[in-house]
Structures are given as structure tokens and as C-alpha cells.
């Protein structure tokens, strides 16, 4: 009598724990082939495409990142055919020749620009500026900024005495001691002995 198909079976056909187990049956032999591994645990289940004992497995093919082992002629990672690669390369070359480099945009200080825009609005007597007025404010900002950077660079330039004090401090002296040494020895003499050209 066969079991009712609507009832869940405790064990699959051929399992040794099954009530009708027969070691000579085809189900038992198939179950043993798939589940009994006398050489130890398998990396892949029986009949898996990568199992060593599966006929026609692909284990002999080298595995390289991004390369389809069944289609090594295709481009790695994208899988494009050689004709597609050549077409994309040609399109890219055309696009590269037509491309123009974008102009470098100078950074702006938003607070300063907003202040300048407010002054311009007060000057013209209205809140809404025309595009020309707006552009003139930005033009003035960049001119002012360039002049300010030049002035700041001049302000940051060290005097000969400051250069000598800086050198003496780099030798391990405190600022007070370095100042006394520079005033005693002379700034130019110290810089000359250190091989530094005063600027």
C-alpha cells in the first residue's frame, strides 16, 4: 500500500530511517550516492556544476576577476563584445576631441558677496538687481579679493629679524631667549651662518 500523497513523509524515499527502506532498491542507492561521502565532507553537493565528479564540470577553466570563463574574449567586468568595445572607444575619442575644459571658478566668500550685494541694492534704491548689476558686483568682488590677497601676502612676509628669531627658535630656544640672541648677535649674521638668504 502506497502512502497518502497528502501526508508529509518523515524521510525521503531511499532514506535508511524510512519505514519501507530496502538497501537494494534504486531509491536507496540514489539516496546513498547523494548523501553518503566516504572520503569526507564535500565542497559541493552531488551533481553540482562545480563538483569534481560531475561530468562536464568547469573546474579546468581559470577564474579571473571580472572575466566570464565561458566567454574570455569579452571585455572584463562589462561583458561587451570586441565590436562593442571598439564602437564605444571610437565614440569616446570623438567626444574627447569635442570636449572643452571648463573654466576654473574662483571661490567666493558668501558673506562678503552678500554684503556687497546689499550695498549695491542700497545704492540703486531697489531690492531686485538686474543681471548686469549682479555681474558687476561679482566682478568687483574678484578685483577686491585679488588686491586683498596681495596685501595679505605682503603683511605675512617676515622681516629679517623675524626670520632670525624663527631660525633660533627652531634650534630649541624659547621666543624670549631667541629674541635676546638675535639682538645680541645680529639677525643677518645668524641667517648667514645658517645658510639662509634673508628675504
* 93 has pLDDT over 90: yes
* 80 has pLDDT over 90: yes
85 part of a folded domain: no
List b or e across 135-152, with b for residues whose CB sees 16 or more CB atoms inside 10 angstroms: eebeeebeeebeeeeeee
Number of structural domains, the chain?
Answer: 3
Judge contact between 133 and 142, C-beta under 8 A: no
77 part of a folded domain: no
pLDDT at 73: 92
* 54 has pLDDT over 60: yes
Residue 49 domain boundaries = 9-59
pLDDT at 75: 93
Beta strands in the chain (DSSP E): none
170 and 143 within one domain: no
* 1 has pLDDT over 60: no
183 and 146 within one domain: no
70 part of a folded domain: no
165 part of a folded domain: yes
Q: What is the mean pLDDT of residues 58-83?
A: 89
Please give the model's pTM, rounded to 2 decimal places.
0.34
Give the C-alpha separation, 20 to 13, whole Å.
9
146-192 pLDDT, tens digit per residue, is: 666 666 666 667 788 888 888 888 888 898 998 999 899 888 888 88
118-158 pLDDT, tens digit per residue, is: 999 999 999 999 999 998 888 888 777 766 666 666 666 77
Q: What is the mean pLDDT of residues 64-81?
A: 91
138 part of a folded domain: yes
For 2, other C-beta atoms within 10 Å of its C-beta total 5
Amino acid at each position: 500500500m502506497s502512502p497518502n500523497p497528502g501526508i508529509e513523509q518523515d524521510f525521503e524515499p531511499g532514506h535508511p530511517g524510512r519505514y519501507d527502506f530496502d538497501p537494494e532498491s534504486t531509491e536507496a542507492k540514489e539516496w546513498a550516492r547523494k548523501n553518503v561521502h566516504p572520503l569526507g565532507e564535500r565542497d559541493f553537493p552531488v551533481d553540482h556544476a562545480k563538483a569534481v565528479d560531475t561530468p562536464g564540470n568547469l573546474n579546468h577553466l581559470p577564474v579571473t576577476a571580472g572575466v566570464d570563463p565561458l566567454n574570455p574574449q569579452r571585455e572584463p567586468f562589462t561583458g561587451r563584445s570586441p565590436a562593442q568595445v571598439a564602437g564605444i572607444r571610437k565614440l569616446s575619442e570623438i567626444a574627447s576631441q569635442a570636449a572643452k575644459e571648463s573654466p576654473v571658478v574662483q571661490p567666493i566668500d558668501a558673506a562678503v558677496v552678500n554684503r556687497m550685494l546689499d550695498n549695491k541694492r542700497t545704492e540703486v534704491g531697489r531690492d531686485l538687481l538686474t543681471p548686469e548689476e549682479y555681474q558687476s558686483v561679482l566682478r568687483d568682488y574678484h578685483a577686491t579679493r585679488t588686491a586683498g590677497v596681495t596685501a595679505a601676502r605682503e603683511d605675512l612676509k617676515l622681516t629679517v629679524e623675524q626670520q632670525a628669531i624663527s631660525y633660533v627658535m627652531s634650534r630649541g630656544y624659547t621666543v624670549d631667549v631667541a629674541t635676546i640672541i638675535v639682538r645680541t648677535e645680529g639677525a643677518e649674521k645668524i641667517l648667514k651662518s645658517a645658510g639662509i638668504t634673508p628675504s
